[in-house]
């Protein structure tokens, strides 16, 4: 397999993925699996190896995401039960005001997300977002 054919396979796979998700409206996970199979076939992989490669790749990714989401959910629940989220929301709304709550969330997201991966930051910040909405609606 030449380098150029692998590059064309990668570009074609991206185009096919976008087509399946945007035009056909096929679910993203199903589209990814189908495009992975097609890309494997066009790159000359043995069909038996394609399924193993997809399984290992998705397993590693899902394993990482599952741990992050689970720990983030637990941490968020602890912060909610202790009142930390409400205190953070109260402080943010006092500093920025109810009419500028979106800037408070932007600032918090920026500061919190700098040292974190996107998915970790989202899991941690979603509790703060709900607390800000609760405090803003109560005010």
Banded pLDDT at 116 (limits 50, 70, 90): low
User: How do residues 5-25 score in pLDDT, each as one tens digit?
Assistant: 999 999 999 999 999 999 999
What's the pLDDT at 92? Answer: 79
pLDDT of residue 26 exceeding 70, the answer is: yes
94: tokens are 């006092």
Q: Residue range 87-115: average pLDDT?
A: 77
Q: Which residues contact 51 (CB under 8 A, 6 or more apart)?
A: none
Q: Which one, of 99, 98, 97, 120, lies nearest residue 109 by Cα?
A: 120
pLDDT of residue 137 exceeding 70, the answer is: no
Distance separating alpha carbons of residues 128 and 126, to the nearest angstrom:
5
Per DSSP, 99 falls in state G
């Amino acid at each position: 397999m030449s380098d150029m054919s692998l590059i064309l396979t990668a570009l074609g796979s991206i185009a096919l993925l976008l087509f399946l998700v945007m035009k056909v409206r096929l679910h993203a996970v199903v589209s990814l699996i189908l495009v992975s199979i097609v890309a494997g076939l066009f790159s000359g992989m043995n069909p038996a190896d394609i399924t193993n490669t997809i399984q290992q790749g998705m397993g590693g990714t899902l394993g990482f995401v599952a741990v992050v989401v689970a720990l983030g959910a637990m941490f968020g629940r602890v912060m909610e039960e202790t009142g930390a989220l409400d205190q953070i929301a109260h402080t943010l709304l006092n500093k920025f005001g109810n009419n500028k709550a979106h800037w408070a969330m932007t600032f918090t997201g920026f500061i919190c997300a700098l040292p974190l991966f996107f998915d970790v930051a989202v899991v941690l910040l979603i509790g703060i977002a709900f607390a800000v909405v609760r405090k803003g609606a109560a005010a």
